[in-house]
Amino acid sequence: MAEEIALGEVTQTVEYSYWRLVFHRLLKHKLAMVGLVSLLIIILFALVGPFIWRVNPFLQLAGGEELLPPSVAHPLGTDDYARDVLARLMYGGRISLLIGFSAATSATVVGAVVGLTAGHYGGIVDTILMRIVDILLSIPIFPLLIALASVVGKGILPLIFVIVVFGWMGDARLVRSVVLSLKEEEFSEAARAIGCSGRRIMFVHYLPNVMAPIIVSTTLGIGSAIIYEASISFLGFGVQAPLASWGNMLQNAQNYMFITPRMVWYPGLAILFTVLSFNFMGDGLRDAMDPKLYR
Amino acid sequence: MEKNQILVDVKDLKTYFFTDDGVVEAVDGVSFTIKRGEVLGLVGESGCGKSVASLSIMRLIDKPGKIVGGEVIFKGEDLLKKTEEEIRKIRGSEIAMIFQEPMTSLNPVFTIGNQIIEAILLHQDLSEEEAKKRTIELLNLVGIPEPERRFNQYPHELSGGMRQRAMIAMAISCNPDLLISDEATTALDVTIQAQILELMKDLQKKIGMAVLFITHDLALVAEMANNIAVTYTGKIVEYSDARSVFKNPKHPYTYGLLRSVPSLLFEETKVELPAIEGMVPSPYHMPQGCHFNPRCPFVTEICRKEMPELNELEPHHLVRCFHPVQAAKEVV
């Protein structure tokens, strides 16, 4: 008996859960860490920044203070309505990030449900859903975005809606393909053999198995949602002034591009760094969650 | 509960697969009965419809497969006439199943404990706490050491044998009346195989469940089964109690199978191991007449024209052959 206990102690190994393992691998991924740190800085800038830099982003200063160069009072200068650019960049960041997060997660939820349904039920359900995906993917997106934006109206919620409508197809295809391969695994037959219903198998057995690709795709999706927001706002159909977003700041700046080019630089660089960070994060997550490296 | 009560009565079960290349008659008129607490061995080569027959009993046949005829009377009711809802209540609780691949039949993202708890909670009215207690009992029962620790482990942290034990624990969690073991030990190495078989025999006695034991390994059925049904191309060719099949095989196919089992005797005498000539016919091009006729050493004209019936040659010994093997010599 004493021997057995000793043996047990020797074979005792440290056990990590999957997510802890992913976290450890992520920590070792340099590019992902660069992305994560710069993301944290950007998020802090947008969320906490306004509590430190207490300047009203909508306040129009007295006449003659338009398009001021950077100074102590206005570190990034003022815009054409004599509003503080730093404050607007912070508030614009809030809106751009909000749209990015909510549009990308909603698109993923829609895509995941469609993909699970199509993959699990197959047959006619699969055909119909996947043809809808094909149709949506073959429509040139910008003319339609503008058309749709003019139908559902301008503003933040319609903008999120529009981005979601055109953003879920990739996730649907991804989830469907994973489910199709999961269906061939014996555990799904085993799940049926213990009496699970179809819906239970879909959401309890398949969903956790597709979480890793879903998380990666959402992370990458936030980046592209921010770009969509910027593009639509740039075209004048997104977030409307006086509300600031990085996209409409960019749009506003184009009139003064040759007078004060710095007005293009600030929101442009903000978008560039944010999207780049999300992409770095997404790549890092993909590597960290790769099941082939798992164990 | 009577010991001799018939638990499952499969009558003329037919499951066909409608593929683009034609209809495959994977299970074609299979009939057998299993009494309570009895073990029936279903033996045959790969692709002879063993697994399809077991999946048909559970109604787990997917497109393009379809159960086209027959009855599966379980406890007096035809499972093939039940609604999806009703059959789901039976799956896992009254009929349970163990699969061939212990590596893939557990969901990789859940702990062993959670998967067994799921099976329990689906069919039994227990609290989470009670289910957990029962799960640890079950893990103990199937011989998994340190059940409390294993409870929180993921499938990849367990060896193949341990996983198959966990699968068995899951299968017996609701005290099923019938356990279907579909090549459950095939993927394991021989020593583990012996342990798992021992465990199944032990549990079968303890719980008193009936077992449908599907395998291609003759040695295993000899070990486990009371009765044996030998299948070939979706039909039963010989069906009797284990002793008769082994000591007195009547169908040339069974005879050939038993002769092709290596024994130390051949090693000494340097006799080449006899094999059955030829291959299993393609499911799309079944030979006319008896499906075994191209490979049969005793083939005659009638074998190429007509499919023989399953006849009762001796009491309780059914054989599908025009020229059953006469020699009652021992082959193993």
**Which chain A residues touch B90 with a CB distance below 8 Å?**
195
Task: Tell me whether residues B154 and A18 touch, CB distance under 8 A.
Answer: yes
Domains identified in chain A, total number: 1
SS3 B148: helix
Sign of the dihedral through C-alpha B50, B54, B57, B58: negative
Nearest Cα residue in chain A from B179: A193
**Both tokens of residue B303?**
């074998």
What whole-number percentage of chain A has pLDDT above 70?
Answer: 90
Residue A69 in any domain: the answer is no
In this structure, are residues B224 and B212 in contact, taking their beta carbons and an 8 Å threshold?
no
Query: Does the CB of A94 have a partner CB in chain B at under 8 Å?
Result: no
Give me the pLDDT at residue A1, please. Answer: 41
Residue A238 in any domain: the answer is yes
Give me the pLDDT at residue A16, please. Answer: 64
By Cβ distance, the residue of B99, B123, B154 closest to A195 is B123
The gap between the terminal CA atoms of chain B, to the nearest Å, is 37
Query: Does the CB of B283 have a partner CB in chain A at under 8 Å?
Result: no
Give me the pLDDT at residue A238, please. Answer: 76
Q: What is the pLDDT of residues A59-105, one digit of tens each?
A: 776 666 666 777 777 777 777 777 888 888 888 888 889 999 999 99
What whole-number percentage of chain B has pLDDT above 70?
Answer: 94
Q: Work out the mean pLDDT of chain B and round it to a whole number.
A: 86
pTM: 0.78
Residue A64 in any domain: the answer is no
Position with higher pLDDT, A37 vs B184:
A37
SS3 B6: strand
- The overall longest dimension of chain A from CA atoms, in Å, is 90
C-alpha to C-alpha distance for B58 and B71, rounded to whole angstroms? 12
C-alpha to C-alpha distance for A224 and A14, rounded to whole angstroms? 39
> Which of B105, B144, B186 would best serve as a mutation to test chain A binding (most A beta carbons within 10 A)?
B105
Q: What is the DSSP letter of B73?
A: E
Average pLDDT over residues B8-22: 90
Q: How far is A183 from chain B (nearest CA, A)?
A: 11
Window 160-189 of B, Cβ < 8 Å to A: 167, 170
Residue A135 in any domain: the answer is yes
Give me the pLDDT at residue B264, please. Answer: 64
Residue A3 in any domain: the answer is no
Nearest Cα residue in chain A from B54: A193
In this structure, are residues B58 and B94 in contact, taking their beta carbons and an 8 Å threshold?
no
Q: How far is B267 from chain A (nearest CA, A)?
A: 39
Task: Tell me whether residues A185 and B63 touch, CB distance under 8 A.
Answer: no
Query: Does the CB of A205 have a partner CB in chain B at under 8 Å?
Result: yes
Strand-strand pairing, B178-182 and B95-98:
parallel
**Which chain A residues touch B100 with a CB distance below 8 Å?**
186
C-alpha to C-alpha distance for B305 and B287, rounded to whole angstroms? 9
Task: Tell me whether residues B105 and A209 touch, CB distance under 8 A.
Answer: no
Window 81-140 of B, Cβ < 8 Å to A: 88-93, 96-97, 99-101, 104-110, 118-119, 122-123
- Most trustworthy range by pLDDT among A9-13, B39-43, B205-209: B39-43
Per-residue pLDDT at A175 exceeds 50: yes
Average pLDDT over residues A126-153: 85
**Both tokens of residue A33?**
């860490």
Task: Tell me whether residues A190 and B97 touch, CB distance under 8 A.
Answer: yes
Strand-strand pairing, B77-78 and B65-74:
antiparallel
Q: What is the pLDDT of residues B213-257, one digit of tens each?
A: 998 888 888 888 899 999 998 899 999 998 888 888 888 888 888
Cα–Cα separations (whole angstroms), residue A50 to A55, A89, A99, B79: 7, 10, 18, 68
Q: For residue B182, what are the β-bridge partners?
A: B214
Query: Which residues are CB-contacts of B262 (< 8 A; sequence separation ≥ 6)?
Result: B273
Structural domains of chain B ordered from first start:
6-225 (3.40.50.300), 235-319 (no CATH)
Task: Tell me whether residues A187 and B108 touch, CB distance under 8 A.
Answer: yes
Give me the pLDDT at residue A256, please. Answer: 80
Give me the pLDDT at residue A29, please. Answer: 85
Q: Work out the mean pLDDT of chain A and round it to a whole number.
A: 82
Residue A251 in any domain: the answer is yes
Per-residue pLDDT at B162 exceeds 70: yes
Average pLDDT over residues A249-277: 85
Query: What CATH number did the domain enclosing A184 receive?
Result: 1.10.3720.10
Nearest Cα residue in chain A from B104: A186
Average pLDDT over residues B34-51: 87
Q: What is the pLDDT of residues A16-70, one digit of tens each?
A: 667 787 888 888 888 889 999 999 999 998 888 888 877 777 777 666 666 677 7
C-alpha to C-alpha distance for A127 and B205, rounded to whole angstroms? 50
> With bands split at pLDDT 50, 70 and 90, how would you rate the model's confidence at B13?
very high
Residue A184 in any domain: the answer is yes
By Cβ distance, the residue of A194, A211, A295 closest to B91 is A194
CB pairs under 8 A between A and B: 68
Average pLDDT over residues A200-218: 88
Task: Tell me whether residues B170 and A123 touch, CB distance under 8 A.
Answer: no
Residue A280 in any domain: the answer is yes
C-alpha to C-alpha distance for B41 and B229, rounded to whole angstroms? 6
Give me the pLDDT at residue A114, please. Answer: 94
Cα–Cα separations (whole angstroms), residue B4 to B12, B153, B198, B314: 22, 41, 24, 21
Give me the pLDDT at residue A247, please. Answer: 84
Q: How far is A16 from chain B (nearest CA, A)?
A: 10
**Which chain A residues touch B63 with a CB distance below 8 Å?**
123
Domain containing A219: what range?
Answer: 16-53+76-289
Window 24-83 of B, Cβ < 8 Å to A: 58, 60, 63
